[in-house]
Amino acid sequence: MMWIFFKWGGFIIFIFEILWMIWDRFVDDKENKWYFRFDFVLLAIDIPKENEQTPKAVESIFSTLTGTLLYHDWLERKFEGQFELPFSFELVSIEGYIQFVVRTPECYRNLIESAFYAQYPEAQITEVEDYTQGYPTEFPNDKYDIWGSEIKLEYEQEYPIKTYPQFEHTLTQKMIDPMASILEGLSQLGPGEQFWFQIVVRASYHDWRDKSMDLVKELVGEKVEKQLGKMGQARQATGDAVTHSLDILMKGASAEMAGYEGTLPSLFKMMTPGELDVVKAIQRKASQVGFKTKMRFLYIAEKDKYNPRAPVSTFEGGILQFRGNDINGLRFGTGNVMTRGPYLFRQLRVDKRKSNLMKAYQFRHWVRGFKEYILTTEELATVYHFPTLEVKAPLVNKVEARVSEPPIGLPTESTGQAARQKKQQQDQEVGIKEREELLTEALQQKKPISQEIKTTGDRPPQDPGHAPNNLPL
């Protein structure tokens, strides 16, 4: 059977597959060589304790990263390995103490620092060592154990997740911060426990917007030749059902519809309010700046303190807040990206997944695991932002006092001494002048100087031999 396959041209497919594998390996090798030319630094971000900024400030920081998008041509990408360098925005809890961290290429360090200082002038940015180093990358391990997963979208990337404007209270107009529950849960970690969360982003071209607009056209009833995903197919099935029902109604229509030629009106006019909201949400996402995104997290602890149930459950509940009605959401990945295995060779496969996940986290890998998906600046700022003033998580590392320049004209020690000397000189001059005036007046009226000085106000001098007349009885 195999001989017949090769005889009738099957060998061409086989040769094509071999050539494709060689080409793919060649491109990967070029990309690795180009990537390792750059140095990366880890920056710890501490914001003021009285933070009044909303996630809109972090959205502006993400928007700044669009400047790292370089339009490489095909030769530069395939033969030189050039691509958009990744940034990693991370949230770390070490025994309950929480720190916001950003990993950036050294060449873009000034860009990151200026973006943060522009929104948080009192922030403190410090270069720190990589907290992931010194931990095992192969499992099982005698001292440590981990539990983790990648985080993926529930549906196609064209559908947005729930963003921070939708967390605002309708009456008070204050935002109910979705980070509050996550930070509070991470602050409950005990000795020997750590929780790592990272969002790896890369600047993206705008071709993903075309798919979003094609989906919008499909949902409103326009014909678009494209392959839809699960949600798109469901919407298409709904539209086909509506079209079929209208066809049946049109056949029995009155004489006023006799000239009907069979063209259906747009489904936009017959959509429910919920379906209209979905279309508007897709258009809103397509109007924003998008980034290629990959998320993953790890819970790591010493074996005698290993208890992932509470922190992982709290974190999962936190990311489920970003699920909206009839739109998209975030959830834990399944399969090879989660440290949970099937029954066949279960422990062996789980240990392999743990090793792969730890290596991917330490490397901040953007390829391993699920394929990258698009999140906009608004979506990224919703998932990753600094706690607002109302969040009372006690162990988030913050700047206790604002650091600012001294006021202009603030007197120094030398200027203060000169001012005191000048004041004493003025007081002496005033005293001398007053005594000269009193002396002149006393000479004119022939009164003792001491009597003039002791007499104050308009009150007449009292006779020392008699009591005052106004004493109370």
Query: What does the DSSP assignment read for 184-234?
Result: HHHTT--TTEEEEEEEEEEE--STHHHHHHHHHHHHTT----S---HHHHH
Determine the average pLDDT of the residues in 326-350. 82
Three-class secondary structure of residue 91 per DSSP: strand
Residue matched to tokens 């392959």 = 227
Query: What span, in angstroms and rounded, lies between the C-alpha atoms of 168 and 234?
Result: 31
Length of the chain in terms of residues written: 473
Q: What's the half-sphere exposure (Cβ side, CA atoms, 13 Å) at 143? A: 6
**What was the pLDDT predicted at 53?**
82
> Residue 396's pLDDT band (boundaries 50, 70, 90)?
low
For residues 50 and 321, the model is more confident at 321
444 Cα distance to chain centroid: 85
Q: Please say whether the dihedral angle defined by the alpha carbons of residues 69, 79, 363 and 358, taken in this order, is positive or negative.
A: positive
Three-class secondary structure of residue 129 per DSSP: coil
The fraction of the chain above a pLDDT of 70, given in percent, is: 70
Query: What span, in angstroms and rounded, lies between the C-alpha atoms of 29 and 7?
Result: 35
At CA 82, angle to CA 77 and CA 87, rounded to 5?
130
Determine the average pLDDT of the residues in 219-231. 66
| 267-297: burial string, b at 16+ Cβ within 10 Å, e else | beeebeeebeebbebbeebbebbbbbbbbbb
Question: 363, exposed or middle or buried, with CB in 10 Å at 0-12, 13-18, 19+?
Answer: middle
Q: Is pLDDT above 50 for 455?
A: no
Residue matched to tokens 């090793």 = 355
Tokens of 75: 């030769």
Query: What span, in angstroms and rounded, lies between the C-alpha atoms of 299 and 315?
Result: 10
Backbone angles phi, psi at 100, to 5 degrees: -90, 130
**pTM for this entry:** 0.74
For residues 261 and 371, the model is more confident at 371
**What was the pLDDT predicted at 370?**
87
Tokens of 401: 């006092």
Q: Is pLDDT above 60 for 359?
A: yes
Least Cα distance to 188 among 55, 309, 303 occurs for: 309
> Residue 437's pLDDT band (boundaries 50, 70, 90)?
low
CB 98 within 8 A of CB 182: no
Query: What span, in angstroms and rounded, lies between the C-alpha atoms of 391 and 393?
Result: 6
CB 301 within 8 A of CB 141: no
Query: What span, in angstroms and rounded, lies between the C-alpha atoms of 436 and 233?
Result: 104
Residues 121-180: tens digit of each pLDDT: 989 999 999 999 999 999 999 999 999 999 999 999 999 999 998 888 777 777 888 888
3 Cα distance to chain centroid: 58
Query: What span, in angstroms and rounded, lies between the C-alpha atoms of 158 and 169?
Result: 26
